[in-house]
Amino acid sequence: MKSKKLIVYEILKQRIVNHDIKPGEPINDGIISRELEVSKTPIREAVQQLEKEGFIENIPGKGAFVSRISIQDVRETFEIREMLECAAVKRAALRCDPQKLEAIRRAFDSREDSFLDDDSRHFRSGDQIHAFIFESIGNQRLMEIYRRLLDHIVRLRIHFFSDAHQGRSEESYREHVEILNALAAQDPARCEHAVRAHLRNSWEYVKSII
């Protein structure tokens, strides 16, 4: 059974990631306590954990607020992704399960027509490809690091890509296809190039819209 702290933590983090509680908004433990029917202790514990993870900032004399998102946050996230994912995909190229890869490709291709109407669906499918890369390595600690990073990736994406241009969705789709093709070819250098190009193109797009 989950502890009250964990339940509150997961609920708050999900709301912050999905922008149900937006950057800069206060965390009111009184309201949360009444809503979730818990004491303020597990709320404070959850807030402390979320502060450690960068989702909440505590302003002396004012209280806890959802952390704001800066261009530096985005730059650092893309830098971390490039370092982790480019190294990971080179290993995944020689380790990934061909059957699982083909299943992901079929699922991704089956959603192509819907991507133009629903950017969020495209991004979720892209996340599955990136997660597959890390899963293929078989390093559970690395996978956990990526899962934690993914929460920040999704939060940044909702913040900056909520009105993504159709052209970027089409480009991103083609970039993910190339990543899949490179994995299928078991070509580490091609995989690294495909992932790096995708991440740098995404970063350039973000810079163009902010």
- 113: domain CATH number? 1.20.120.530
84/162 same-domain check: yes
Q: 24: domain range?
A: 4-66
Amino acid 44: pLDDT: 95
Task: Give the per-residue pLDDT at 170.
Answer: 86
Q: Considering only residues 168 and 123, tell me which one the structure prediction assigns the higher pLDDT.
A: 168
Amino acid identity of residue 5, one-letter, is K
Measured distance CA(29)–CA(44) in Å, rounded: 8
Q: Of 66, 97, 114, which closes a domain?
A: 66
Domain count, the chain: 2
The radius of gyration of the chain's CA atoms, rounded to the nearest angstrom, is: 19
Residue 201 has pLDDT above 90, yes or no: yes
**Domain shared by 202 and 174, yes or no:** yes
Domain boundary among 48, 66, 84: 66
* Nearest CA-CA partner of 86 in 134, 22, 15: 134
Say whether both 30 and 77 belong to one domain: no
- Using a CB cutoff of 8 Å and minimum separation of 24, what contacts does 148-154 make? 148/53, 149/77, 149/80, 149/81, 149/84, 151/13, 151/17, 151/53, 151/55, 152/54, 152/73, 152/77, 153/77, 153/81, 153/127, 154/17, 154/18, 154/127
Residue-level pLDDT at 96: 96
Q: What is the pLDDT of residues 67-113, one digit of tens each?
A: 999 999 999 999 999 999 999 999 999 999 999 999 999 988 876 55
User: Quick one: pLDDT at residue 114?
Assistant: 52
pLDDT at 166: 62
Q: What is the pLDDT of residue 118?
A: 53
Residues in the chain: 210
Residue 152 has pLDDT above 80, yes or no: yes
Specify whether 48 is located in the same domain as 137.
Answer: no
Q: For residues 36 and 85, state if they share a domain.
A: no
Q: Are residues 88 and 168 in the same domain?
A: yes
Domain identity same for 48 and 125: no
Q: pLDDT value at position 2?
A: 85
Residues 80, 95 share a domain? yes
The reported pLDDT for the residue numbered 203 is: 93
Question: Quick one: pLDDT at residue 57?
Answer: 96
Instruction: Clarify whether residues 94 and 198 are in a common domain.
Output: yes
Q: The domain spanning residue 17 has which CATH number? A: 1.10.10.10
pLDDT at 66 exceeding the cut of 90: yes
pTM above 0.75, yes or no: yes
Pull the structure tokens for residue 164. 């993504």
Whether 29 has a pLDDT exceeding 60, the answer reads yes
Task: State the average pLDDT over residues 118-131.
Answer: 75
Q: What is the pLDDT of residue 113?
A: 53
Residues 121 and 180 in one domain: yes
Q: Which residues contact 127 (CB under 8 A, 6 or more apart)?
A: 150, 153, 154
Q: Which of 45, 66, 87 is the last residue of a domain?
A: 66
Q: Residue 157's pLDDT is what?
A: 86
